Structure 1
């Protein structure tokens, strides 16, 4: 499937270059392997399926892919519960299949990041099986074990993100073990040196196979407070109205069950391993509520911790001009020299198209929103299907797979709605068998084959923009300063080595006339697929369009 259009010469792919800074501003395409492409007909996507679609990702203009977990797992949390860090689950293929994927990706100039899930394992991992067998075995202290209180209750008030206590009683050891997620996902004890060495060894295994980096799942969850102190209540109760109200997890200020100071020392050890392998990178998922910006700043400062961190700021709320200005400014003011990764959606949140107002068509809005995430200072991450303008699928109770959704149904339906298989054709095209989750009817209407020959489709317009962006280093690595061109206008300067590009976006359903003021001498850049016109010092910007203008201060 070829999305190429004759834009300019710099859209051609090159073999991977020796560039330790490649990740700064790179476009990362997230693949949820269960739902991307199935090569065997069992209804579940796999590694050969991904390999078969790499040309599509290349033509889209991505610089890297991030593949969600495919290591051995009982799949209680669909791969985020790992039972063997050094093998591929047969559901997804083999290590040889992964080698083939790496080789083809690199041949297309695409870097490969994979999920590294090391805060916890599956309860089927051999480490945990040994650890729970008794209190004296060689791995007895590899997980977080604690005695009950005198009345038999859990050792403290810590809660699981998936509901209920974060402690599970184990009848073998007659102790509780910690699980921040499902009870079948016991937390590793990073206070144990042997645990740190083991997970660093797992990282080195995949780096030696050729991966270009890791997306670090729950990167601030590695350490817990050794005193097991109770978490205090959330400091701003009034703000909890914006949180999913069915889950009591949000009512605590998670001071002691995650984000401990020892975490930084471990990240420095991990960075040292990464430095053994040139041109690799890390992007951390930081789930930290009201302190997220401060923690991202700590985790990405200097050159010895994370390369970049995943921001949640655009993963919720409607991305209005005022909201984007407020959140991006707050992050920049705090993070400073650190580097964020921006996304509008991922495998854990409602799709971007369903977070827009009812009167906004995601087929119209998608190119502007993806251009926004790719124009901010940071590295944009595009979740599979976003380039197609997909909305959240409505999955019936009887079809639900996600334990999170099953636990909190019907007020919260879980994550299955954003994880349904990609519609490659109007008939599906994902699998020759029955897909593991039903495919959404409106996704079939907007399938890849329905969009690929339509230059006005979100797929083609996104591809045109991302390819154009490859030639704009200022958009990849430049500084960012917001400018005031009107309350409803989102405008900011990107500057690098004296080159300035003014980015102006209309994120509304109304056409805009933007008075450029001091930018009246700017000239419109072309080739990016958006429509705007200059009328003297006025920029005519239609609904859900963007303009990029070259500007000189002299």
Structure 2
């Protein structure tokens, strides 16, 4: 099924630019978006019923977090069948209907692919663990113990404890970089690669427009199982055994690049398919650039810079964007301020009494960045982190490391649609996580009718970005950064746009001659030419 490429004009290059370059993408966490059947868990039909809201925002695509068959020990990131929908989310027919509706609304559809590991109930693993001679015996990472019976290497799991679990059937250890119920696939095996590419083809044939490749740097390990060296003491507190090592041998094998080239070849066969790598860890920047370099690798990499930052400052923004210069052979970044794994940005970056003006500033800055921007569901409403008590926690990492690890559940709470409709219009039953009273007050229906709401501001800014080539795909330059003021310039062809952002709670007067005179395109928090009130921001189309 060959897909038709949607492109935008690039006056600078006199060529067509792929739809994904500079796109705004809306992340949907399916458990928490909308529940259509009253079981308290969001589903595919619920997503389809609310796609009008997403389309009105002015984004280009949606990204749906895992909805595949799974025991849900890691909420879908433990896949038991790559080519089916878990019954709690619906059916393949429901997915097909969702894709059809999205395309009718002009939205591309991207989905997660989790290739580094499967669930331990996946049929591949069930067969692999039977003995050492079956057809899939080498589809996962198995190894004999050391002579004293201890694990084959010192590798540690991200979620705590050794990355090896003993299996009495084979009298061997199997590797798992996350939960013990998420065995590591042996992606060095050509048969495994074929099976993974087959799963990708399955979804391409159903009309999917792109993929986020989860934990891609964990896909391949050092086959000789060498011990990781200890990490140097950098003064930071280490809360997991995983943090005490340099992750050199349990992940990031050079042959990952060869598999990426195979992914790219398959996606190219289907036309304009977007691919973005999720890469975290000590070597993230190096690996992201390697995975996206040139024209035979992935299109983009998913940056973590903003997701765990405690503060948003001009110098922090300057440093983050400088990692992805507009240079030959350099990949294309994808930015997120929030996602399902990170605390809500407004709960990290400002005091509670500053959240309303800061949210407006944040929205304008986000819409002005070079790269793709990924809006997490509810970010357009200004949702904050919900404090989930221990007895209601669902997140396995938070439960295992309580109270030292901040629960991811606080950013996964249900989407509030209707302020006066039971559980925020999310479900007619009992929601799998509490909505949080503060977030309920920010429901979609309350903000839709308020022209001054964050929702309507976000809509205006996303549409401005979509309709303004310089904001979408133009060059990016930081022209000033101090303790309070960030000034940027976006340029494409004859269009030049200056952005001025006061990231502080005090008024700022910008230096004379910093930007050229021109037409005001957008303003928040009372910003005017020459002066920025606290958290004020301004976009100006400069006269050239």
Aligned to 1:265: 258
Question: Is 1:363 equivalent to 2:356 in the alignment?
Answer: yes
In 2, distance between residues paired with 1:76 and 1:335? Answer: 43
Q: Is the 8 A contact 1:72 1:89 kept in 2?
A: yes
Q: Do the aligned partners of residues 386 and 305 (structure 1) sit closer, same or farther apart at CA in structure 2, a change above 3 Å counting? A: same
Q: Is the 8 A contact 1:368 1:544 kept in 2?
A: yes
Aligned to 1:446: 442
In 2, distance between residues paired with 1:457 and 1:221? Answer: 41
Matches for 1:495-514 after TM superposition, within 5 Å: 495-514=491-510
Aligned to 1:204: 201
Aligned to 1:351: 344
Aligned to 1:279: 272
Question: Is 1:213 equivalent to 2:205 in the alignment?
Answer: no
In 1, distance between residues paired with 2:527 and 2:469? Answer: 22
The alignment partner of 1:137 has SS state of coil
Q: Do the aligned partners of residues 429 and 518 (structure 1) sit closer, same or farther apart at CA in structure 2, a change above 3 Å counting? A: closer
The alignment partner of 1:294 has SS state of helix
Q: Do the aligned partners of residues 515 and 413 (structure 1) sit closer, same or farther apart at CA in structure 2, a change above 3 Å counting? A: closer
Worse overlay, 118-127 or 439-448: 439-448
Question: Is 1:525 equivalent to 2:520 in the alignment?
Answer: yes
Q: Do the aligned partners of residues 499 and 531 (structure 1) sit closer, same or farther apart at CA in structure 2, a change above 3 Å counting? A: same
Aligned to 1:478: 474
How big is the shift at 1:389? 0.9
Aligned to 2:92: 95
In 1, distance between residues paired with 2:345 and 2:510? Answer: 26
Aligned to 1:430: 426
Deviations 1:394-453 (A, max 9, x none): 001110111101000012142111111111122411000000111111111111122121
How big is the shift at 1:482? 0.8
How big is the shift at 1:527? 5.2
The alignment partner of 2:205 has SS state of helix
Aligned to 1:411: 404
Q: Do the aligned partners of residues 454 and 516 (structure 1) sit closer, same or farther apart at CA in structure 2, a change above 3 Å counting? A: farther
Q: Do the aligned partners of residues 186 and 335 (structure 1) sit closer, same or farther apart at CA in structure 2, a change above 3 Å counting? A: farther
In 2, distance between residues paired with 1:371 and 1:213? Answer: 26
**Pick aligned residue for 1:53 from 50, 53, 67:** 50
Aligned to 2:28: 31
Aligned to 2:188: 191
Q: Do the aligned partners of residues 268 and 419 (structure 1) sit closer, same or farther apart at CA in structure 2, a change above 3 Å counting? A: same
Coordinate RMSD, CA, aligned: 1.8
Normalised to the residue count of structure 2, the TM-score between the two structures is 0.94
Q: Is the 8 A contact 1:73 1:79 kept in 2?
A: yes
Question: Is 1:399 equivalent to 2:395 in the alignment?
Answer: no
The alignment partner of 2:236 has SS state of helix
In 1, distance between residues paired with 2:353 and 2:297? Answer: 40
**Pick aligned residue for 1:77 from 56, 74, 79:** 74
Aligned to 2:377: 384
Q: Is the 8 A contact 1:322 1:488 kept in 2?
A: no
Q: Is the 8 A contact 2:367 2:461 kept in 1?
A: no
Q: Do the aligned partners of residues 97 and 477 (structure 1) sit closer, same or farther apart at CA in structure 2, a change above 3 Å counting? A: same
Q: Is the 8 A contact 2:523 2:536 kept in 1?
A: no
**Pick aligned residue for 1:540 from 523, 527, 531:** 531
In 2, distance between residues paired with 1:421 and 1:119? Answer: 28
Worse overlay, 246-255 or 93-102: 246-255
The alignment partner of 1:501 has SS state of strand
Q: Is the 8 A contact 2:315 2:482 kept in 1?
A: no
Deviations 1:253-306 (A, max 9, x none): 1011111100001000000000011111111101122x2222111111111111
**Pick aligned residue for 2:304 from 307, 312, 336:** 312
**Pick aligned residue for 1:17 from 6, 24, 37:** 6
Q: Is the 8 A contact 1:364 1:458 kept in 2?
A: no
Normalised to the residue count of structure 1, the TM-score between the two structures is 0.92
Structure 2 residue runs of 5 or longer lacking an equivalent are: 9-16
Question: Is 1:298 equivalent to 2:290 in the alignment?
Answer: yes
Structure 1 residue runs of 5 or longer lacking an equivalent are: 1-14
Q: Do the aligned partners of residues 257 and 485 (structure 1) sit closer, same or farther apart at CA in structure 2, a change above 3 Å counting? A: closer
The alignment partner of 2:399 has SS state of helix
**Pick aligned residue for 1:322 from 295, 315, 324:** 315
The alignment partner of 1:62 has SS state of coil
Deviations 1:191-219 (A, max 9, x none): 10000000000000000100001011001
Q: Is the 8 A contact 1:524 1:547 kept in 2?
A: no
Aligned residues: 529
How big is the shift at 1:54? 0.4
Deviations 1:347-399 (A, max 9, x none): 00111111123255323212321322221111000111111111111001110
Aligned to 2:11: none
Q: Do the aligned partners of residues 390 and 229 (structure 1) sit closer, same or farther apart at CA in structure 2, a change above 3 Å counting? A: same
Worse overlay, 463-472 or 192-201: 463-472
Q: Do the aligned partners of residues 214 and 376 (structure 1) sit closer, same or farther apart at CA in structure 2, a change above 3 Å counting? A: same
